Structure 1
């Protein structure tokens, strides 16, 4: 909930005309998905100007507008706030509201596992205090402040996910949120396109623990050497977690089933078996991180167990769905990198199934590691899967590697559209099969998942990227490899005809 007086105090904005609405349910950043009662942000970026969509946002029910230009016209009943820069105003509001309300922040970052860790930590801490959590993956320079629009009165603790696709973004997020606790999950190859090497990614992720105060807490994954080394970059107390007994909070006896993941957790002389309803051995780390934070806040084992039991599977993150014809879908279509793909393959190998089939989409933003990463995943697919369908040019590299590793050619299909991938999978499916669907957001594998679901009418509830805004997003490239012959002579002839038609007094610009 956003109060007008607090927003004005935070941003130095001014109201243009009558201040009709005084309280807003949330921030809105996309006019296509505005909910009545929200405050619409007319964000100006390199790719678009939100001022062009103010009228549409108002028609959808926005009761407030934040804009940069004073010439904006809004309907009666809508409060219009002018600021110098809408993006800066959003950061200023986030910094102000957290400080003004005295909210303690737990920040969570890493290449993989951020969202599940955020959900588990928040669920555990909610057993003791009114805890806010940033929704979904609202975690960047723009998304994290937007998430704080849902902050409610009485919540004195915020668990915030922090991501980056550029240098110093974590430093910026830490500056506006001032976390007291920082959790770092793992450093992987995601976003190498922006950072170049994993060491640079580690340097950026470590900005979170650098920002912690002396009375704060850094919770670090002991099993990742780059994360473990971050202990030397903070003045805060350090607690480590992992499967290595050298960690402060460590686990073993990990079991994965269709119902979730369990393991034994050891802290000092105490051992407790805990469960989370998230599928995959990687969620042993989710449990351990939540335990480390929960214990630091003084929660007992029963409270921690209740919090973990409250965590629900999330759309597109190793979520088990019923598929058509008695099959099962392990939907991991939210996003992908080599590390998360290998973890998903290990989950597929572990779960009971008639046959195991992989639908792999492109894994993007890997920079120079793209080919090696796809080949690594392709080799593992050949070891654990009975069939493979790839979608996209990069995923084809994995198909080639799977074939080179001995996978039979009649078990591999290469496709370039969601429709072709769906048809290929439908032709392979048998009762009892389990299909793992894994790819980056750009691959849009949720389209394939929806077509294979036993209950496609529940797609909006169960799958990622189902709102109207995402429905209108299209990739700016052909859906399959395309060759085009250009007849330059014909183009020249067309230009000559155009010149003759417009006459000698009109210049033609090409």
Structure 2
């Protein structure tokens, strides 16, 4: 982390200093449980809890300074040392922006570079981030988000992990409205901006897909003439962003578009269910073979985006191909595969869900499940607005047409998915609706058989990823009444 004194923090954030001006935090946390000796604790207000209430815990754990929106006093009446600001989250952003500026300045003075790469898109951000971090990490010190830190809090927390030794800073940028990516891009000033796709995730919050396109395009609009925009030419809305940037454009395509500088030729699926193809880069060299360990053909675009970004910052093509072929999923609950000892295979892809990622996951389930009994355990796709019933209905229809053996729909918000599957011709125990994850667990625990392949998919807050974790454990054998009686 770049070191800031309390006085500097107050100056950068336009805050009021209520602490020793020379105090210098060593880290930044927004969760009091993560505070360590020397931490700056950001007391942000939240939907369910107010961070100001946890100052005592943070300072007991070693915090030396807080960023607060109001002063907080100890039991003895003295105040906790703090910088008081109107908005703690915006103050974090201002501090992060200054951290990036200082890292660039220090490295430039030493004849070195800091390359910042921003990634956005309705799907695939975290996987692409992980792939790119894997490539770049072999070339120099690289900082990338933990998990899916991609918002107004997660991006600053990622920046605070960087220092003057950092060569590459990879930033994942999410948005739930127009202007969000513009704000994040101003904060970190990316040299390379990647736009993966414009889908229907958060369509309800945005007010429609076209507004999502406006928001995602803020990434390429933020780039300078010296920058590089990496765009998906297979997505018409993303391809149209070529006209929204002054930066150089590198397009990628998994569908053989002739104007794409980065392409996947001879695309196939390997034995593990991952994309396999010949990678074409704009370096004039021969195509390099890539055989990915990621599960699902829909990852081809993520692989190409990572390759294009890595090439644009000077990574040799051979190193890119080797890295892409060696990397498995690095973040949890994203096509995460577990082979149980009894022969049941679990694919947990329930970190998030939208119509595009749901369709891709189901196609992968059908492809991998040839000759096996397949299960789709599905929950709601949230934040779809007025399109929710229509999109859930389409997924239910797809499940039946892909000949998925068993469908378990969990939760009332996804019931239209169940109804559409029944109407499409899924009868009897082929299609089951349950209200809760616990009911689904009991059903699966009783009926899964060796050789079965089961997929879990839902939006994050639905929580099916936790159900997937429970099922991925060795099976729990139901006890008979006689067996239970012996334990009494």
Coarse TM-score class (shorter-chain normalised): 0.7 to 0.9
The range that moved more, 16-25 or 199-208, is 16-25
Q: Are 1:370 and 1:394, in contact at CA under 8 Å, matched by a contact in 2?
A: no
Which residue is equivalent to 2:301? 285
1:272 aligns with 2:288: yes
1:398 partner SS:
helix
Measured against aligned partners, the alpha-carbon deviations of 1:327-384 in whole angstroms (never above 9, x if no partner) come to 1110001010110011111111122462110100111000111111111111111123
1:99 aligns with 2:113: no
Measured against aligned partners, the alpha-carbon deviations of 1:432-484 in whole angstroms (never above 9, x if no partner) come to 1011000001210123123212269xxxxxxxxxxxxxxxxxxxxxxxxxxxx
Which residue is equivalent to 2:87? 85
Q: State the alpha-carbon separation in 2 of the partners of residues 18 and 341 from structure 1.
A: 53
Q: Are 2:127 and 2:329, in contact at CA under 8 Å, matched by a contact in 1?
A: no
Q: State the alpha-carbon separation in 1 of the partners of residues 309 and 183 from structure 2.
A: 23
Seen in structure 2, the aligned counterparts of structure 1 residues 79 and 228 have a Cα distance that, compared at 3 Å, is: same
Q: CA deviation at 1:11?
A: 2.2
Q: Are 1:10 and 1:97, in contact at CA under 8 Å, matched by a contact in 2?
A: no
User: Structure 2 residue aligned with 1:328, among 331, 335, 345?
Assistant: 345
Q: State the alpha-carbon separation in 2 of the partners of residues 115 and 368 from structure 1.
A: 27
Structure 1 residues not aligned, in runs of 5+: 457-510
1:297 aligns with 2:299: no
Seen in structure 2, the aligned counterparts of structure 1 residues 428 and 230 have a Cα distance that, compared at 3 Å, is: same
Measured against aligned partners, the alpha-carbon deviations of 1:276-321 in whole angstroms (never above 9, x if no partner) come to 3321111111111111112112221222134322454321100101
Q: CA deviation at 1:165?
A: 0.8
Q: State the alpha-carbon separation in 2 of the partners of residues 327 and 290 from structure 1.
A: 32
Which residue is equivalent to 1:10? 12
Q: Are 2:143 and 2:169, in contact at CA under 8 Å, matched by a contact in 1?
A: yes
Which residue is equivalent to 2:214? 203
Q: State the alpha-carbon separation in 2 of the partners of residues 283 and 7 from structure 1.
A: 41
Q: CA deviation at 1:261?
A: 3.3
Q: Are 2:277 and 2:291, in contact at CA under 8 Å, matched by a contact in 1?
A: yes
Aligned length: 455
- Where do 1:111-510 residues align within 5 Å? 111-245=122-256, 246=258, 247-252=260-265, 253-258=267-272, 260-267=274-281, 270-308=286-324, 309-310=326-327, 312-323=329-340, 325-352=342-369, 354-382=372-400, 383-454=402-473
Q: CA deviation at 1:324?
A: 6.6
2:92 partner SS:
helix
Q: State the alpha-carbon separation in 2 of the partners of residues 178 and 192 from structure 1.
A: 27
Seen in structure 2, the aligned counterparts of structure 1 residues 356 and 61 have a Cα distance that, compared at 3 Å, is: farther
Q: State the alpha-carbon separation in 2 of the partners of residues 196 and 68 from structure 1.
A: 31
Q: CA deviation at 1:79?
A: 5.3
Seen in structure 2, the aligned counterparts of structure 1 residues 35 and 345 have a Cα distance that, compared at 3 Å, is: farther
Q: Are 1:256 and 1:351, in contact at CA under 8 Å, matched by a contact in 2?
A: no
